[in-house]
Amino acid sequence: MTLRIALRALRRNKLRSFLTMLGIIIGVGAVITMVAIGEGAKALVRSQIASLGTNVLVVLPGTVTMGGARTGSGGVQSLVDADAKAIMEEVPSVALASPTLRQTQQIIGGEQNWSAAVQGVAPELQQIRDWVVEEGRFISPADVDAAAKVALIGQTVLENLFPNEEPIDQIIRIKKIPFRIVGILGPKGQTSQGTDQDDIVMIPYTTMQKRIMGVTYVQGIAVRAVSADKVKQAQTEIAALLRQRHRLPPDRDDDFNIRNLSDIAEAASNSATVMAILLGSIASVSLLVGGIGIMNIMLVSVTERTREIGIRMAVGARSRDIMLQFIVEAVVMASIGGALGVLIGIVSSDIVHRTMEWPILVRPDIVAIALLVSSGVGIFFGFYPAQKAAHLDPIEALRYE
Amino acid sequence: MVQIDALIRVRDLHKIYKMGDVEVPALRGVSLGIDAGEFVAVMGASGSGKSTFMNILGCLDRPSRGSYLLEGQEVGSLSPDQWAAIRNHKIGFVFQGFNLLPRTTALENVELPMMYNGLRGGDRYKRALDALSLVGLGDRLHHTPNQLSGGQQQRVAVARALVNRPSLILADEPTGNLDSTTSAEIMELFQNLNAKEGITVVLVTHEHDIAAYAKRQIHFRDGLVTSDEKTEKRDTE
């Protein structure tokens, strides 16, 4: 009943009602869009982090000071594959460890050639980095022991070397050495720095050491902790183990570096959250402005309709009937504005997604909250004008011109 | 003289307005009774206190002193919500300026009082239709005030006053904005309602020919009743 009266009152002044709603429409639309962009960024960061593997630590060779000049990270050849074995076997908080070596090489295969990262790995790396084998198999322990000339190729390499052929059991040549393809890696996409993780060839690390690089050290050790809360513990324990293995006296610095990917992940995710909150709060300000607009127009409306209020009181409306009428009017206006705002927010999020190619994520709970908040804005900013209307003196109101 | 079935009984009614530091008395001790079924004209110059008297009768204003019994109930001590209920159930107002809601159909205007007493949509429609037919506007249901003549608008207002079947209709200069022909029509409508439906009508006017339609005339001057007399029924002439 009251709802019908409110709708009729709003219809009577279509343009004015619309302009009043516009504040809420823009406010809610902005909130939805901004939060969608923020959440999209967060989701992207999360998926990139997941592609690096969860609970992952990376051990890198450290720096060394030679005549006052410090080499960069990885400047010393302090890590060997036995370190990786020891980490996996002796540190209880570590589940898996794999030595890694990496070098960009020209790959010749089929009738093409292609430059890609060649990575020497142990079988454990598949689980550490959550690699999916799309076809064929991963590197086996036997491959490592025999320094076998077998390889897995990533999606980008596959597309460039064997666009139309079955790659399994084909031969590719790296530094003129023939490798048999035993598997194809599933897609991983880009890292947050834009590196294509699929532009890769994986071979046993022993093969990499002996045949490609001619070295005995390893360039890094990828480690997976048993669980997320054991990552920190694993970091300390690995450090202690390596210091002992490398016979470092207490006054010497570590000759290795342990990087915790989940720290990086957390930082990235946190900054995305901060961005989402920032965008959301800027947008909320426009919602507030929209609410003030509603209050303004409701005050004008109460003055304009003083006589109507007088008539309603004369025929038996109680103060609370008048109050309810104006609050419902404000809430209806705010809610319609909110609903239109949600619509516009979703549409403009989609436009942002299409034109800027930004990832976006419209969360249903944010939509529900936006609708609730806009009704709340209606109640809050409609209250004062409604109270003013309800407290009018009927005699004065009837005489009002 | 206390009558058992007095609809309205006021005793020693005072109303004092404060204008800054000055106290302006509008009513200075009015006592009278109106029975159910009467047709009373309240007359007086502007400032005589007749409008204040009507506002008090209509439960729109509180007397400063004195008592007002409506159907035996003391009204002065009731809460604003109880007043609203009395205005809704027992009193129908007709104003000089019609006071219809603009851009709202005749039917909806007449339905307005019933929106505040919980009557259902179907019953509302039926009663509004009956009231509009009674005032002769059964064929103008969906016209808005600006599509109706002044006389028709006042008929809508009368229908609105009738629709909750009140015991009392208060009409404040109901013909003030109408020409003499239309005025006569409206006054005949009041006469009919009074005679055939038995509704008590209290009418404020300063025109003698309008007051002549009533069965009783009460004159106000300076906040006091100066005369109160039954008149000849004009419709028997």
CB atoms within 10 A of CB A242: 23
Q: Per this entry, what is the length of chain B? A: 237
The pLDDT value given to residue A362: 87
C-alpha atoms less than 13 angstroms from C-alpha of B214 in its C-beta half-sphere: 28
The pLDDT value given to residue B3: 47
Q: Per this entry, what is the length of chain A? A: 401
Please give the angle made by the CA atoms of A338, A339 and A341, to the nearest 5 degrees.
60
**Dist CA A126 CA A249 (whole Å):** 35
Least confident of A118-122, A279-283, B74-78, B108-112: A279-283
Average pLDDT score over residue span B49-74: 92
Least confident of A112-116, A118-122, A299-303: A112-116
**B61 touches A: beta carbon within 8 Å:** yes
Nearest CA-CA distance, residue B87 and chain A, Å:
5
> Model confidence over A249-303: pLDDT tens digits?
888 888 888 888 767 777 777 887 888 788 888 878 888 888 999 999 999 999 9
Q: Which two tokens stand for residue B148?
A: 């109706």
pTM over 0.80: no
Which of B53, B55, B87 to mutate against chain A (most A CBs within 10 Å)? B87
Flag if B112 and A318 touch (Cβ within 8 Å): no
CA distances from B107 to A318, A322, B100, B140, B143 (A): 22, 21, 11, 8, 8
The pLDDT value given to residue A46: 76
When pLDDT is cut at 50, 70 and 90, the band that residue A67 belongs to is low
The pLDDT value given to residue A320: 93
**Dist CA A283 CA A369 (whole Å):** 14
β partners of residue A181: A151
Average pLDDT score over residue span A77-85: 87
β partners of residue B219: B43, B227
Among the partner residues A307, A316, A319, nearest to B88 by beta-carbon distance: A316
Residues of B in contact with A318 (CB under 8 A): 80-81, 84-85, 116
Least confident of A144-158, A278-292, A301-315: A278-292
A174 Cα distance to chain centroid: 37
Flag if A315 and B113 touch (Cβ within 8 Å): yes
Flag if A394 and B101 touch (Cβ within 8 Å): no
A 306-335: CB under 8 A from B: 307-308, 310-321
**Dist CA A305 CA A215 (whole Å):** 90
The pLDDT value given to residue A256: 87
The pLDDT value given to residue B237: 40
Closest CA to B15 of B220, B226, B235: B220
Q: Which two tokens stand for residue B47?
A: 């400032």
Average pLDDT score over residue span B185-214: 93
The pLDDT value given to residue A64: 61
When pLDDT is cut at 50, 70 and 90, the band that residue B28 belongs to is very high
Residues of A in contact with B84 (CB under 8 A): 313, 316-319, 321
DSSP state of A107: E
The pLDDT value given to residue A70: 62
Residue listed under structure tokens 């209806």: A332
Spell out the residues 6+ positions from residue B209 whose beta carbon is closer than 8 angstroms to its own: none
Flag if A314 and B101 touch (Cβ within 8 Å): no
Spell out the residues 6+ positions from residue B31 whose beta carbon is closer than 8 angstroms to its own: B10, B11, B12, B13, B66, B225
Among the partner residues B55, B100, B113, nearest to A316 by beta-carbon distance: B113
Closest CA to B100 of B157, B30, B29, B184: B157
Tell me if ipTM is over 0.90: yes
Least confident of A163-172, A184-193, B177-186: A184-193
β partners of residue A227: none
Which of B112, B124, B168 to mutate against chain A (most A CBs within 10 Å)? B112
Average pLDDT value over all residues in chain A: 88
Closest CA to B166 of B88, B63, B111, B60: B88
The pLDDT value given to residue A332: 93
Flag if A316 and B84 touch (Cβ within 8 Å): yes
> Model confidence over A229-251: pLDDT tens digits?
888 889 899 999 999 998 888 88
The pLDDT value given to residue A192: 63
When pLDDT is cut at 50, 70 and 90, the band that residue A35 belongs to is confident
**Dist CA B20 CA B173 (whole Å):** 29
One-letter identity of residue B31: S
